[in-house]
Amino acid sequence: MNALIEHWMTWIAEIQGPNGHWRLFLMVFPYFLLLEVPLNLLVLLGTLRWFARKRTEVPQHQPWAPRVSCIITCYSEGRDVELTLRSLAEQTYPGMLEIIPIIDGASGNRATLEAVRRFQASHPLPANRVIRPLAKWQRGGRVSSLNAGLAFSTGEILINVDGDTSFDNDMVGNMVRHFNDPKVPAVAGSLRVRNVRQSLVTRIQALEYLLSIHMSKIGLAEWNLVNNVSGAFGAFRRSFLVQIGGWDTHTAEDLDLTLRIKSYFRRYRLRIPFEPRAIGHTDAPATWRGFLQQRLRWDGDLFFVYARKHRHTFNPRLVGWPNFIMLLVSGLFFQLVLPLIIVGYTLVGLVVLPTAAFVFFSLLIYALYLAMTVLLYVGMMLMVSERPRQDLRLAWILPIYPLAMYALRCWNVCALLNELLRRGHEESSMAPWWVLKRANRF
């Protein structure tokens, strides 16, 4: 104890010396920023490369229009599913479009089932549009619905969407054009928050979607590093899905499928493009309670998928070196390790640092994150945004955004502990408990 007190007094004396503030700065500087800043620069450089290429690209007419099946996973959407059906029926895609709403647990989900039947009866469709509802009377969960759609559909290209997501009318055409390249097994689409004006929570999520989905995936796709094909909106080559066995049970089925696809990257030289002109609009949680519950599930699922189910995927012989490094940085470090570092850093700072020093360094770190956020936002507005007037209304959220992301990082620790100690993925609303229990192999 005396040695500890003596070491503490020596440290205090050094801090109070002539170079004390500089020494303190070096001791408490958040060195994790040395990884975050390069990743953001990688996104910006990729976005700049995409922007330069698009400005010089000559539009080409593509006559190829394969049969497309849109699988809509429906559960408790009610009348909201009609907007999804209408946005798909009104697509400008010239080829055959098969719309397949899968009503999960239809016996207890009568409102959604009736909404689908009402739409089918009251909306005459052109010859190249067909709606084929599929009612699953017993609930089997989201993955069960996706695999039922895979077996029931007839399209060469499959697009899976959520029942509460609507789309711009050129979405299908923009997604399908990438599959003209046989090396493309999947395409990621972009998502926007549909209920952005509902609350402060939805506005924060709208900015997060713009920066972390819309712009980030544009930059990463330029280096073939797309990290996830969203479960709410993604397109797949049917033959490839059949070859790898479709979707796998458990939660986070989108990340699971993306990692399974990436395990073939090095062998077959595959790539997953991101199509920023294929826009989906989805409803985000409008309350803090709903938002935190959603992220408790999402972040816990990340630990389950990365640390338990797909440990073998972290292999450069499967995914190639660029994606291996990206999985280590964005998957393991940013999702699983960084939240623990940030919470630990905050707790140590509260205990060790004088109040004035803690406030100073907190403001410094906030300023650094705010500068990165503003830089990404300005880049998004200048190079990416297809709705600049709408996105400009989110500018006042920028000072709040770093604080919200810090709170999410702290909440991420709760999600990790919930998964580590309680196997939280088994409590997901994405499937009945008995489905998740029977699928538990990890």
Query: What is each CA distance from 188 to 92, 142, 176, 227, 235, in whole angstroms?
Result: 19, 19, 11, 10, 7
SS3 235: strand
Class of domain 67-286: alpha beta
Q: Show the tokens assigned to 203.
A: 């506005």
Q: Show the tokens assigned to 175.
A: 């997604």
Query: What is each CA distance from 342 to 28, 174, 274, 285, 329, in whole angstroms?
Result: 12, 40, 31, 25, 16
DSSP 57-126: PPP--------EEEEEEESS-TTHHHHHHHHHHT----S-EEEEEEEETGGG-HHHHHHHHHHHHH----
Residuewise pLDDT in 10s, the chain (442 residues): 566 556 555 655 555 555 555 555 555 566 666 778 888 889 999 999 999 998 887 777 778 899 999 999 988 888 889 999 999 999 999 999 999 999 988 888 888 889 999 998 888 888 899 999 998 888 888 888 999 999 999 999 999 999 889 999 999 999 999 999 999 999 999 999 999 999 999 999 999 999 988 999 999 999 999 989 988 899 999 999 999 999 987 677 899 999 999 999 999 999 999 999 999 999 999 999 999 999 988 888 888 888 888 888 888 999 999 999 998 888 888 888 888 888 888 887 787 777 877 787 788 889 889 999 999 999 999 999 999 999 999 999 999 999 999 999 999 999 888 888 877 666 666 666 556 666 555 5
Closest by alpha carbon to 31, among 335, 368, 303, 327? Answer: 368
Residue 220 confidence (pLDDT): 95
Distance CA 184, CA 252 (A): 22
Q: Show the tokens assigned to 358.
A: 């803690």
pTM of the model: 0.89
Count of other CB atoms within 10 angstroms of residue 5: 9
Residue 260 confidence (pLDDT): 94
Query: Largest alpha-carbon pair distance within the chain?
Result: 86
SS3 91: coil
The residue ranges of every structural domain in the chain are 67-286
406 burial (CB, 10 Å; 0-12 / 13-18 / 19+) is middle
